[in-house]
Amino acid sequence: MVSACGLFLLSVFSAAGYLIANQYSKDNFDVGLQRRNVEILQSVYDQHHQKQTGLRLERETAKLNEMVQSRGGDGATAIYHAIAKATEQPTHLVTLAIRLVWAVVFVVAGITLSRYCSEWTGRPRPKNPSQKSSQAPRRARSSTKDTQTTGEAATRYRAIRKRVREGNLKPSVRSLVSEGMTNRTAVQYLAAMAKDGIISRNGKGYHLTP
């Protein structure tokens, strides 16, 4: 809450400073012209280092400083001078106080933002129900002891054999595996049915015995 209020006030201050600076530039265009004149003289002096240019640069710089001081600062610092004039406080104290406040606001806002980001990144992301998790454990095929072709553990074999005899199940490894058994058990069942005379070998496969 404190950081939000501070950022709001900072935004208001920045907007006010921009508007006051624009108004200052309009009201004191001659200061801008004088500053431009000083910049040109400084560029010429840096290139040629002429004594006459240097003396003129000093006079124009002093004139610019006098103009800025009499107008209450330049465009960049106009808002500080306006606040100082309204509060009847020295400009340097107002500038120092405001910049300290903004420094505190930036630090508090940075700490708040960092804490918010750490909390957000630390939350578990909701899973999309339309997507299957790649980490979901695969369902293992349940093993069964009813894999024999004789005795008490041959219940499933007898049921498969009946379906094959009635023509409801094709006598092939693929068909038997689709019933939930392994390739090894399917081969074992087919060999037992061939031994019982229900099916007979037909090349690489089996067919019902007439």
Q: Are residues 115 and 66 in the same domain?
A: yes
Report the number of distinct structural domains present in the chain. 2
- List average pLDDT for each run of 10 residues in the chain, which is 210 residues long: 72 76 68 85 89 89 82 68 81 82 80 75 59 48 63 86 90 90 90 89 82
Element (H, E) at 202: strand 199-202
Report CA torsion sign: 131, 137, 138, 142.
negative
User: How crowded is the C-beta side of 27, counted as CA atoms within 13 Å?
Assistant: 14
Residues 22 and 32: beta-carbon distance below 8 Å? no
pTM of the predicted structure, to 2 decimals? 0.33
**6 assigned to some structural domain:** yes
User: For residue 25, what pLDDT is reported?
Assistant: 64
The answer as to whether 196 is a domain residue is: yes
Contact 14, 71 (CB under 8 A): no
Q: Which of 77, 105, 120 is at the close of a domain?
A: 120
Q: Are residues 110 and 167 in the same domain?
A: no
Q: How many CB atoms lie within 10 A of CB 191?
A: 14
Same-domain pairing of 74 and 177:
no
- Mark whether 16 and 110 lie in a shared domain: yes
Residue 127 lies in a domain: no
Evaluate whether residue 135 is within a structural domain.
Answer: no
Domain housing 79: 2-120
- H or E element, residue 36: helix 29-48
Q: Is 183 part of a structural domain of the chain? A: yes
